[in-house]
Structure 1
Amino acid sequence: MTEKTTTWQIYSGSRVPHDGIDRLPAPPPWRTFTGGPPLPIPPGDCGNPHAAASYRPGEDAVRQVNAALYLRRPLLVTGAPGTGKSSLAYAVAHELGLGKVLHWPITSRVTVRDGLYEYDPLTRLYAAERARDKSRRARDESRRARDESRRARDETHHPSGQGGAEPAAGDDDIGDYLRLGPLGTALLPYDRPRVLLVDEIDKSDIDLPNDLLTIFEKGSYELVELARRAAPTARVMTADRTTERVEIRDGTVTCRAFPLVVMTSNGEREFPPAFLRRCVTVNLKQPASRVELTAIVREHLGPVIGEPDGTLPAGARKVIDRFFERRSSGLLANDQLLNAVYMCHHASFSEEPASVRELADQVMPFLSSEVTRTDDD
């Protein structure tokens, strides 16, 4: 009988880095991927240390992150603006040591190809033309040198017209003109999962969610420009923007550790059932009490405006109360509260209390007429 571990959870929400990702068990048989050879995750932080260190995940978020890790499924995170949907991705990457978050912001014009890789054929064409021009100049100079010394040379061994040949098409390094996007980089055969943040997927074209399903199910994709080449390998750049390149063989990328894909949505659209069926979902709610709001402000602004013992000044607490009152009349976001607390803290040194209160209201305009329920309702 095997000994029970203290917890099945890999991600705890503690915000303290640890190596718990090494305890992640093998994937379900239907979510096993065999890409290789395995690559190490590039060194570095998550890309937004402040968001990672100040984010306070709820129990539902922690459980669903772990479900996505275990099942190797994308995590669809919904919620009102300012609830920390994007911060969740950075918090996971920070705690589990999964390197820099690969951020893919979505607009209505974005396609799957944009997330996979970018290819610059025009720059490659111009480079090839410059190489041919250089070759012609070298050949002309060689020809002139032969003409000047032909009396001393045996013309039968150096017939006119020979010299430096033009580079054949495809002899250049195609990797100079091809860079993997955030999605394409996340699907490289890393030995541990990368974190991919697909930000505001509800703003996408109607076809993008279903197009992503194909990629997520296969765990692989093809780079057409590489698949056409006779050369079996190419070294390409990645979305990490480092000098390191990765080798692509036969124009195909297959993942090894399926990435933790965090897709955020403000709820501006519904998604197809087939898409939802293949996702783990979680809805992040607005903080429902003054205690939670105060904790959020303390995490973000405590070191800037707080007292040595960690308590917030009276002015900050008044802004929190004002935010709580106004939220009963319309939708407000947590980042609006942070902006108001910061501004009012500095304004309070020279402004009258009434002016500071007016400033708080101006910095916290309603986002909609939707009412946020609180514990006091």
Structure 2
Amino acid sequence: MNEWLIYRGTGQPHDGIERLPAPPPWRDFDGGPLVSPPAPIDTSTTRRLGLNRDLAEQYRPGHTELELINAALYLRRPLLVTGEPGSGKSTLAHAVARELGLGRVLHWPIVSRTVLREGLYQYDALARLQDLQISRNSDERELSGAEEQPDAIGRYIRLGPLGTALLPAARPRVLLVDELDKSDIDLPNDLLNALEEGEFRIPELERMAERRPEILIRDDYGEQVTVNGGRVRCREFPFVVLTSNGERDFPAPLLRRCIHLRLDTPDADRLAAMVRAHFGDDAATANAGIIEQFLDRRPGEQRSADQLLNAIYLTQHARDEEPGTRDRLAEELMQPLNRGR
């Protein structure tokens, strides 16, 4: 094992992140004050990685894959991961978070209507206006003549996944920006500044920075964090995984800011390890026929590993039915994704 590798791909948690050297000068950030560490991994990670013994074998990356993941960690650059559906693009973020002890993965799913503001923060101006109106109409408000406290606005602001990932922390957080190729044409360009500068501003808080420089708001986990001067700036740049199914090309300015990793379609050994991780040590042998059926495809046909797991789960419950039932169910559940019925 090369000594320079921080993420080893073994699937076994370790403290290697403590050996990560200082960033290059052009990726060195100085945000503060430091916030508390993120919450531990949750069920979204265990669902993706499986609960059984073969995590190390299942998610052990190849040599090139391992080097590119570590390059993103060292250089503090986003990792753009492309590949067919089911090749393990999203799982990669969870595997790195688990092995390096980086806590719960922040998940930002992208759709055609997604805009940058949603990833950074949300400000519920309508709720604030309604609460102010109710307060002003109350008898207590009329008698006291008090004004709204400057930090009250913090109750109506909540950071999104990207905004939370950019909070100043002692360790990098893990952010999964899932299916970026589904976005509107402008979103990849809109991301450039936040990913390059490692910061963003909240105008609603900047306007009152002189009266109250530090204001409490909530992050994407629902935890309270302090924002100073209306600006969020990272200390350790997050480990950002941008996934794409290859449905569109990205602009050159985004590509030059990313480390590009393409994942190959899982082979028989990796699929068998995945089955063992989710169903137990003997499951790959017991379902060897379904795995072979999954891999038997014409050139250009696409299948997702989720289809294989669904087929195995369902056919386990139909094993005592009439002969041929399991094969028929598996065939129906593993239809190529790019072939019309």
Q: Which residue of the partner structure matches residue 239 of structure 1? A: 220
C-alpha contact (below 8 Å) 1:106/1:199 kept by paired residues: yes
Q: Verify: 1:300 aligned to 2:297, yes or no.
A: no
Q: Which residue of the partner structure matches residue 92 of structure 2? A: 88
Separation in 1 of the partners of 2:28 and 2:144? Answer: 51
Q: Which residue of the partner structure matches residue 375 of structure 1? A: none
Give per-residue Cα distances to partners, 1:251-291, cap 9 Å, x unaligned: 00110000000000000000011111110011111123x33
Q: Which residue of the partner structure matches residue 314 of structure 2? A: 343
Letter in 1 for 2:186: D
Separation in 2 of the partners of 1:173 and 1:220? Answer: 23
Give per-residue Cα distances to partners, 1:43-97, cap 9 Å, x unaligned: 3125412423545142232221110000000000000001111010011000101
Separation in 2 of the partners of 1:358 and 1:6? Answer: 47
For the pair shown, the structure with the greater C-alpha radius of gyration is 1
Cα gap change, 1:21 to 1:45, in 2 (>3 Å)? same
1:138 Cα offset (Å): 3.3
Which structure carries more relative contact order (alpha carbon 8 Å, separation 6+)? 2
C-alpha contact (below 8 Å) 2:150/2:212 kept by paired residues: no
1:351 Cα offset (Å): 2.8
SS state of the match for residue 248, structure 1?
strand
Q: Which residue of the partner structure matches residue 49 of structure 2? A: 52
C-alpha contact (below 8 Å) 1:35/1:256 kept by paired residues: yes
Which runs of 5 or more structure 1 residues have no equivalent in the other structure? 141-162, 370-377
Q: Which residue of the partner structure matches residue 9 of structure 1? A: 5
C-alpha contact (below 8 Å) 2:124/2:156 kept by paired residues: yes
Q: Which residue of the partner structure matches residue 285 of structure 2? A: 312
Q: Which moved more, 1:332-341 or 1:198-207?
A: 332-341
Separation in 2 of the partners of 1:300 and 1:198? Answer: 25
Moved over 6 A (4+): none
Separation in 2 of the partners of 1:139 and 1:330? Answer: 67
C-alpha contact (below 8 Å) 1:49/1:94 kept by paired residues: no
The alignment yields a C-alpha RMSD, in angstroms, of 2.0
Q: Which residue of the partner structure matches residue 190 of structure 2? A: 211
Q: Verify: 1:265 aligned to 2:267, yes or no.
A: no
1:332 Cα offset (Å): 1.4
Separation in 2 of the partners of 1:215 and 1:327? Answer: 42
SS state of the match for residue 144, structure 2?
coil
Which runs of 5 or more structure 2 residues have no equivalent in the other structure? none
1:39 Cα offset (Å): 2.4
1:211 Cα offset (Å): 1.1
TM-score by structure 2 length? 0.91
Give per-residue Cα distances to partners, 1:120-177, cap 9 Å, x unaligned: 011111111121122xx2377xxxxxxxxxxxxxxxxxxxxxx421x32554611111
Separation in 2 of the partners of 1:25 and 1:96? Answer: 15
Separation in 1 of the partners of 2:169 and 2:239? Answer: 12
Cα gap change, 1:225 to 1:294, in 2 (>3 Å)? same
SS state of the match for residue 23, structure 2?
coil
C-alpha contact (below 8 Å) 1:52/1:94 kept by paired residues: no
Letter in 1 for 2:107: H
C-alpha contact (below 8 Å) 2:32/2:234 kept by paired residues: yes
Q: Which residue of the partner structure matches residue 25 of structure 2? A: 29
SS state of the match for residue 11, structure 2?
coil
Aligned residues: 330
C-alpha contact (below 8 Å) 2:199/2:233 kept by paired residues: yes
The 5 A counterparts of 1:1-377 are: 7-45=3-41, 47-52=44-49, 54=55, 55-59=58-62, 60-134=64-138, 137-138=139-140, 163-165=143-145, 167-169=146-148, 171=150, 173-229=152-208, 230-241=211-222, 244-288=223-267, 290-302=268-280, 306=282, 312-313=285-286, 316-326=287-297, 330-352=301-323, 354-368=324-338
SS state of the match for residue 235, structure 1?
strand
Separation in 2 of the partners of 1:218 and 1:274? Answer: 14
